[in-house]
Structures are given as C-alpha cells and as structure tokens.
Amino acid sequence: MDAAKRDKVLAAALDVFLRYGYKRVTMNDIAEDAGVSRPALYLVFESKEEIFKSVYEHWVMETLIEIESKISHLKTPEEKLRAAFELWTVRPFQRMRAD
C-alpha cells in the first residue's frame, strides 16, 4: 500500500474511531470507510491496536505542525495559547460531537 493510500486509511480510521469509539470499531469498519478490502488492510496493519497507535501518532504530528504554523503569526502568549488549545482540544471535541 502506497503512502497516499496509507494516509487515506489513517484518516478514515480517525473518523471511525471518533464516531464509534475504540471498542466498537472493527477492522472491517476501517476498511469499508477507507475504501479498501479487509485483506489489503491486514497487509499494512496487523491489528486495530496498530492502526489506533498510527492514527494517534499521525494526528499528533499533523496537529503540532498546524499549531506551530498558526502560532508563528500571533504576537501575544495568550493568542498563541488560545490557538493551540483550539486546535488541540476544541476541534477534536467538536468533531466527535458532530459524528
């Protein structure tokens, strides 16, 4: 599976985990949402746990990059803290509520 497809799987997995929670999600749910077959998913990830760990690491890295980019344009520590809080905490919570 190429990097673009792997990223697509991770994005789909993030959506599914946020929508249903870790316990209720199956490998089939992730494969279906990502538009790949379950056997193809198992070729890249051994388990749901491995996908979850990869999703979390991917989300952390993307969010940190976004925070660094956004706060570099802000002047006060308060503005920077507010922006970081919005991206790190509020946005994921809103995404969970929307699903």
Mean pLDDT of 87-93: 88
Give which of 23, 19, 25 is closest to 97, Cα–Cα. 19
Looking at residue 47, its pLDDT comes to 96
**Sequence ranges of the domains in the chain:** 3-98
Q: What is the pLDDT of residues 31-89, one digit of tens each?
A: 999 999 999 999 989 999 999 999 999 999 999 999 999 999 999 999 999 999 999 99
CB 18 within 8 A of CB 95: yes
Mean pLDDT of 11-21: 92
CB 30 within 8 A of CB 16: yes
Looking at residue 99, its pLDDT comes to 64
Q: Which residues of 78-97 are buried (b: 16+ CB within 10 A; e: fewer)?
A: eebeebbeebeeeeeeeeee
Class of domain 3-98: mainly alpha
Looking at residue 52, its pLDDT comes to 97
